Structure 1
Amino acid sequence: MKPDITISYCPKCGWLLRAAYMAQELLTTFEEDLGGITLRPAAINGSYQILLDGEVIFDRKREGRFPEIKELKQIVRDRVNPGKSLGHADRKPDDSAPAQP
């Protein structure tokens, strides 16, 4: 059975569009790996959590910020399909490039 993601967001904070964007990005990247994504209005003001099969994989309050989409894709990939390439989202800065003045 494929894992499911739930994005719990604070509707009073206006975070539905952010949650929908992240859901769309994850579904596009992991269409073969996920069973689905649920958007759930949170009962707690200021809450924004991302859960994978009920386990919190990102909590805005704990981290003090929202996840970057690249970071979120890496977290999900590491749990649902560790061998999957994320293309440019996997690339690290080129250390051999000359430093900019």
Structure 2
Amino acid sequence: MSKIKKYCQTIGKSAFSLCYNVISITLGNEIKNIPYDIFLGPNDSIKFIINIFALVPPKLICFICNTPISIYVPPQSLELYNTAYGWRRYKDIIYPLVKKIIK
């Protein structure tokens, strides 16, 4: 898993493109911009997981991904992500973040 520092506001173009060992990315609550090609996967056989803790959907320029993905966002922001420009096209794969309960 790759974890971006919680105070990071912007990620560079193609930051995780073709990273063969990265299958999960966690973006902190301060993320403001996600550039294009950031999540372009190496192939279509790996499920890619993106956890975003930002309550306000970051600006999404273009979200090109050739691998299956699931996007997890704060539950109270689910509707914001599902209707935000750039994000609404992914509403079928955006889910609420939930904490795992360990027994």
TM-score band by shorter chain is under 0.3
The structure number with the bigger radius of gyration is 1
Tell me the TM-score normalized by structure 2: 0.23
**Higher relative contact order structure (alpha carbons within 8 Å, sequence separation ≥ 6):** 1
